[in-house]
Amino acid sequence: MITIDYSDRRPIYEQLVDKIKNLILIGLLKPDEQLPSVRILATELSINPNTIQRAYAELERQGVIYVVKGRGNYVAQTTNLLAQHKEEIKGKIEAIVEEAKKANVTKEEVIEEVTKCYDKC
């Protein structure tokens, strides 16, 4: 279900956070479903338990999962997640547009590139 890409330059815990959020977004992990325990996931992925712990802590901080002490980690309600993700994407678009403007890339060029990507890739 989860794989680590070691050629990815981002830290492992960050990849984990993204992967799990994605599993929730695409519906493979449902609200209130229990996540694998830190130990199990650690051995499964042959990763240091500290790393899993850190990823779970970050997910909790973002309100994506909730922790029940002594029992485990559970998927939180997804209502916000989708909206959050969309906002995040919009933020990224804003950033890239600003950069494009500075580089004298016209609105038309950007839209053309967007269209091309939507159709092909």
Q: Which residues bind DNA (CB under 7 A)?
A: 11-14, 35, 37-40, 47-51, 53-54, 56-57, 60, 67-73
Residues 6 or more apart whose Cβ sits within 8 Å of residue 16: 2, 4, 51, 52, 55
Based on the shown chain and the rule CB under 8 A, indicate whether residue 74 belongs to the binding site for a copy of itself: yes
Distances (CA, A) of 22 to 9, 29, 46, 81: 19, 9, 21, 10
Residue 4 or 40 having the CB closest to a copy of itself: 4
Binding residues for a copy of itself, rule: CB under 8 A, are: 6-7, 9, 11-12, 22, 25-26, 66-70, 74, 82, 85-86, 89-90, 92-94, 96-103, 105, 107, 110-111, 113-115, 117-118, 121
